[in-house]
Amino acid sequence: MNFTSIKTFFSKWEAPFHYLIIGVCLFFIVKNYAFPTSSNATPMVDKGDTIENLIPLLKTSKFENNLVLAISPTCTFCEQSMSFYKELVGLRNSEKLNVGIMSINSSEKAKQEEMRLFNENELKVDAMGLLNFKKYNIMGVPSLMVVNSKGNVEAIWRGYLNPERAQDVKDFIRKL
């Protein structure tokens, strides 16, 4: 292959290559304007946020504050945490703490499966409900939230709780 054949090869592909570069640039321009980056996305639910769609479920509670378990039956950490959830219910009952304990799932099917797991583990929560996790950007399960009757998040813990974080939850609900 000599210099002339290389020059011919590149000149043959020059126009398609330019069109490709222009196409890629247009793609990224459209992508950034049509689909905003995560900095413009709904942030994860956090302390101080209000979850309006929980208010009807919260109104069924006799408590001002509720520990809401955002869980999924397919979540390994959620299943591993069943004994801790049961411990929280026992703690609330034995110490007569002023907190309700509720469970929310993202679909009716998940709620039914969670009810089965609760029954297997002899875990009795005050109420179970549905919440669109994507709408409130509840990305990590399990998430435990203390939510008041107005739907305001007072505290939140995400993910599997090591013994220190589990103790933080117990300490927090004892203060309610």
Amino acid, res. 152: N
Strands of 28-115, DSSP E:
65-70, 100-105
CA dihedral angle for residue 155, residue 170, residue 66, residue 72, rounded to 10 degrees: 80
Structure token digits, residue 95: 């110490």
pLDDT value at 157 more than 80: yes
**Domain layout of the chain by residue ranges:** 3-40, 52-174
Comparing CA positions, the residue from 68, 69, 78 lying closest to residue 148 is 68
pLDDT at residue 19, as a whole number:
77
Helix (H, G, I), strand (E, B) or coil at 130: strand
pLDDT value at 38 more than 50: no
pTM, two decimals, is: 0.73
The CATH number of the domain covering residues in 52-174: 3.40.30.10
